[in-house]
Structure 1
Amino acid sequence: MGIVVNDITKSFGDPPTYALNGITLKIEDGEFVSLSGKSGSGKSTLLYILSSLDNPTLGKVQISGREVITMNSDDLYEFRNQKMGFIFQFHYLIGELTTLENILMPARKFQQEAEKLPEARALLEQFELHEKASRYPRQLSGGEQQRVAIARALLMKPQYLFADEPTGSLDTANAEKVMTIIKEVNRAQGTTVVLVTHDPDYAAMAQRQIQLADGRVIKDQTSAV
């Protein structure tokens, strides 16, 4: 069923300043979509609405057939934790927890840490972090911290993965590692990926590229990747 937004507008203040202006689009299950555009174009605002982290001022948002705007906070919290993974420019790891404990954080919310431990260890191996399982965030490089954040986002096998400038604070080598991981998650697991990036090369790694300017979609192009 994917993600459907219909004629969404996001405005701030009075008189209103429009961050998004009448956007309608559908993201199919299993797609890898990049959102790009200059600073202030509305790409991060759109990501936050597509992922239910923010509501539009006007318009409708459906995720997996559910009208998320009308869901109560408890149902939305559970829906998000079961279906979505999030990666941001900054990793937001918990400094007092080890690498393994940080990865297991989403399972803790559902008291499933023991059940998810084998999967967490498999993610450590997959992301070449197995030797860092007992280390704390301060003992990891920036690239390692971001890989921990991605592993944490993937622990519950989310249907949707939302990434807001996940390479923004990384050097080129680590940024390319992160992008390779994201692309492989989409390919191998069929996870729907929505990626915000200012880098045209990374945007082009997606099978569908949506470009924004002044809160409107100016390009929506699908290509074989």
Structure 2
Amino acid sequence: MRQLLTAWNLCALLFLSLAFFLYSHSHPSPSPMAQESSKSIYDFTVKDIHGNDVNLNQYTGKVLLIVNVASHGLTQTNYKELNVLYKKYKDQGLEILAFPCNQFAGQEPGNKEEIREVVCTKFKAEFPIFDKVEVNGKNAAPLYKYLKDQKGGIFGDGIKWNFTKFLVSKDGKVVERYAPTTSPLKIETSRTSYSLLELHDLTVSEVTGNVYSAFKESAASQWM
């Protein structure tokens, strides 16, 4: 009788083990990459240039252009064009989030106060400036790990230089990634930037024409 019970217990144990094995393989745990991909842009909290926490969920319903910026180098002309874009569309729901980064030829070496001084006086940026971050490597900011996972680049996901731009739609989806050499004023012409065009009931050519006109006026005023 005892042998019968032992055999029965062994069979039950084997059955339960087999059932657990089959269940675990049919319901695998999500990988770290899958968990990262399931996040939303609104799940991240970052530091602004003053050191304050900023939860990105405050930008829900807005079109975001997220840019790693630097105060020196040839690509700094992006600052002027970003200003034009922001002034044109900020009242219609566009937000530009600028993250200083010193990983490319040391072109953003300053501390918070120095960066804020340069950005406000030299470039007169009105859009939000955040704390300095790393965008590549093991110390990359979690937000940038997420952005790169959502939209990889040519020859790998790594950020190639200052002023790489990520366009985020009103529902928090990363819809496009633009190279540092892409002018902020040409972003509207991209097929995947329709979320940005939804700010106005205008055609691509009308939006582009208006933005370029604003930029020309701004440039002309600097020479007067």
TM range (shorter): under 0.3
Structure 1 or 2: larger strand share?
Answer: 1
Structure 1 or 2: larger helix share?
Answer: 2
How does the TM-score come out when normalised to structure 1?
0.26
How does the TM-score come out when normalised to structure 2?
0.26
* Max Rg structure: 2
